[in-house]
Structure 1
Amino acid sequence: MESSRARRRRRARARRRRSLFCTALAAAVVAGGTATGTVYLRERAHADADAVSSASSVTPSASASSSQEASVEPAAEPSMDRDALLKRAMASVAVEDTADAAVAVLSMDSGESAAYGDGTFDTASIVKVDILAALLLQAQDAGRHLTVQEKAYATAMIENSDNASASQLWTAIGGADGLDSANKRFGLTDTVGGEGALWGLTQTTAADQLTLLRQVFEDDSQLSGASRSFLRGLMGDIAEDQRWGVSAAADGSAWALKNGWLARSTTRLWDVNSIGRVTAGGRDFLVAALSDGNSTKEKGISVVEAAARAAVAVFG
């Protein structure tokens, strides 16, 4: 039989073993928890580092992309004030104190235009282009071609500036009413037909004459291709003694024009005008140069030629 002392020793040893076991277990749990926490923190740190690294690598890339996009975006070209350039160029054109001048130009290549002077001038014979354009428009509306006689009048009126032929066709279109009606469709806003038979005293502006030239020389027109071709052909075959005016701005014979000149009976001063298409430096331009109050026809010719050259020079 086990003595009481032996039992006490056995229970004491059991308590020590349980205590050691619990301590070891607690240590293992703590150690395990610490290891798990360390692994978690390390993984979290790596993940955060990767996120930061990723964010860092994306941000500069986005910035670089934005920078690249900004750098390749074409810079806006500064707008050029062609009117101001033309005004400066016209300052060198010798215009008499009694005279006035205006000029308008359109680059057919770029579509840019410039104008100097907005006054109203007598057309003199440049209205003959407008008369023929009105006749051609009326014929188109009627679905017919020009008659042989109308073509003969038109040829003499444009190529030789024949006044009698102009009077015949002025009557045929209905005079000022017919001209004004056609011009409304052509887009002319400041041109008024002369009273009665006085077609040469039709009032116009350089800007309106440029609009008329666009109807003759551009495809976007009220005139058909055949009508435009007919008118252009006549303007390109002007009588030799009338090959002055805007043609002064052209390279050689690369032009199509119509001139007008008129001595006013009351003042004896001259209206001298020139309109047409010129080719200079491989580019095509429409030019309308108008003047009045000139002391002589020759002086007026000098003014419109200088104005035409100045207008074309604005485009380089």
Structure 2
Amino acid sequence: MAGTHRTPQRRHPVRTLAAALVLALAAVALYLSQAPSSRPAAVANVQPVAASASPSPTPSPTPTADPAAAVRTAAAGVAAQGGVSVAVLDTASGVSASYGTGSFVTASIAKADILAALLWQRQQAGRELTSSEQATAALMIEQSDNDAADTLYTAVGGAAGLDAANQAFGLTATTAGADGHWGLTETTATDQLRLLQVVFGTDSALDAGRRTYLQGLMGQVAADQDWGVSAADQDGAYTLKNGWLPRSATGLWVVNSIGRVTHDGRDLLVAVLSDGSADEQSGIDTVESLAEAATGALAIELTG
């Protein structure tokens, strides 16, 4: 899903006119340097070209970039079934933008939150993950193993433990799933963007070593889960966690994706949530289109 952009060659009409002006003036100077008797009659009426003949360059318009509006417009143009929301942040400038409101169930993107919570709890206690916990964490993130998630959700203290960690992370609109149902955790795209800042940002409740550990697992997801926000990446170094879940009441699909990508040379964090797709593939297509639209719009606005 990596891609490259080749910049087309551009012509410069102002430079071409300037070159023609130089040649014309040189011809006139040569003509005037000759004696009157030796001047060719064919150029007897040549006059010097006035410098004012070169048009003044048109001033560049004053930038009126509005990243938030650009992202909203781009995301609104994506055809989608059901409800959608996307949030994106440029790590260099700190500029972020979002589209869509409301809460969505997390499905398996909650697994990144569960591991972040466990790492935070162990950090608070001055402990590292045990070898067993590390093996379980790898299964949970890389393979999206549900049994592993059950084990670590219990380890963090279930809903109460996850909610406490999320409060420390600054997630104000996320409520952990009750009765062990971590996949029914309620969240928003902007809260998932805050979680990504915990995982990838330097101003984080997690120390550098724990952030690097979680990033590493998110960079090694199984090949059959290599979809979602990675569609917006252009250098192949993306990291992500996806979630997908058919709702028992409606048969419609929840499909979500969160992660870090590089687009137009910019390091971007992006979270895409959706609910109401007819099938899993439709949800994946929606998520990928939203990721591409939002990251592309933000990168263009910031790059100018």
- TM-score normalised per structure 1: 0.74
SS of residue in 2 equivalent to 1:150: helix
Give the whole-Å Cα distance in 2 for the aligned partners of 1:252 and 1:145: 32
Match of 1:234 in 2: 217
Q: Are 1:82 and 2:67 matched, yes or no?
A: yes
Match of 1:220 in 2: 203
Match of 2:189 in 1: 206
| Structure index of larger Rg | 1
Match of 1:149 in 2: 132
Give the whole-Å Cα distance in 2 for the aligned partners of 1:118 and 1:251: 28
User: 1:191 offset after TM fit, Å?
Assistant: 0.1
* Paired letter, 2:246: A
User: 1:81 offset after TM fit, Å?
Assistant: 2.5
Give the whole-Å Cα distance in 1 for the aligned partners of 2:209 and 2:64: 37
Gaps of 5+ in 2: 1-61
User: 1:257 offset after TM fit, Å?
Assistant: 0.1
Match of 2:246 in 1: 263
Give matches, 1:6-85, under 5 Å.
Answer: 80-85=65-70
SS of residue in 2 equivalent to 1:102: strand
Give the whole-Å Cα distance in 2 for the aligned partners of 1:225 and 1:90: 33
Give the whole-Å Cα distance in 1 for the aligned partners of 2:64 and 2:214: 35
Give the whole-Å Cα distance in 2 for the aligned partners of 1:84 and 1:279: 21
Match of 1:135 in 2: 118
Specify which of 61, 69, 77 is matched with residue 92 of structure 1: 77
Give the whole-Å Cα distance in 2 for the aligned partners of 1:252 and 1:234: 18
Bigger relative contact order (CA 8 A; separation at least 6)? 2
Give the whole-Å Cα distance in 1 for the aligned partners of 2:199 and 2:229: 16
Give matches, 1:98-117, under 5 Å.
Answer: 99-117=82-100
Specify which of 96, 100, 108 is matched with residue 125 of structure 1: 108
User: 1:78 offset after TM fit, Å?
Assistant: 5.6
- TM-score normalised per structure 2: 0.77
Give the whole-Å Cα distance in 2 for the aligned partners of 1:225 and 1:84: 34
Give the whole-Å Cα distance in 2 for the aligned partners of 1:258 and 1:199: 15
User: 1:130 offset after TM fit, Å?
Assistant: 0.4
Give the whole-Å Cα distance in 1 for the aligned partners of 2:66 and 2:231: 24
SS of residue in 1 equivalent to 2:212: helix
User: 1:292 offset after TM fit, Å?
Assistant: 0.2
Give the whole-Å Cα distance in 2 for the aligned partners of 1:171 and 1:155: 16
Whose helix proportion is higher, 1 or 2? 1
Alignment deviations for residues 276-308 of structure 1 (CA, whole Å, 9 cap, x no partner): 000122211000000001100000000110110
* Paired letter, 1:95: A
Matched-pair contact (CA < 8 Å) for 2:263–2:296: no
Give the whole-Å Cα distance in 2 for the aligned partners of 1:82 and 1:118: 18
- Which sits farther off after the overlay, 84-93 or 169-178? 84-93
Match of 2:5 in 1: none
Alignment deviations for residues 165-192 of structure 1 (CA, whole Å, 9 cap, x no partner): 0000000000110000000010000000
Alignment deviations for residues 28-69 of structure 1 (CA, whole Å, 9 cap, x no partner): xxxxxxxxxxxxxxxxxxxxxxxxxxxxxxxxxxxxxxxxxx
Give the whole-Å Cα distance in 2 for the aligned partners of 1:121 and 1:169: 22
Match of 1:277 in 2: 260
Give the whole-Å Cα distance in 2 for the aligned partners of 1:273 and 1:210: 13
Give the whole-Å Cα distance in 2 for the aligned partners of 1:79 and 1:176: 45
Give the whole-Å Cα distance in 1 for the aligned partners of 2:90 and 2:72: 17
Gaps of 5+ in 1: 1-76
SS of residue in 2 equivalent to 1:190: coil
Specify which of 164, 167, 185 is matched with residue 168 of structure 2: 185
Match of 1:165 in 2: 148
Give the whole-Å Cα distance in 1 for the aligned partners of 2:237 and 2:85: 23
Match of 1:309 in 2: 292
User: 1:90 offset after TM fit, Å?
Assistant: 1.5
Identical amino acids, percent of aligned pairs = 56
- Which sits farther off after the overlay, 159-168 or 81-90? 81-90
* Aligned residues: CA RMSD: 1.0
User: 1:275 offset after TM fit, Å?
Assistant: 0.0
Give the whole-Å Cα distance in 1 for the aligned partners of 2:238 and 2:177: 28
User: 1:198 offset after TM fit, Å?
Assistant: 0.4
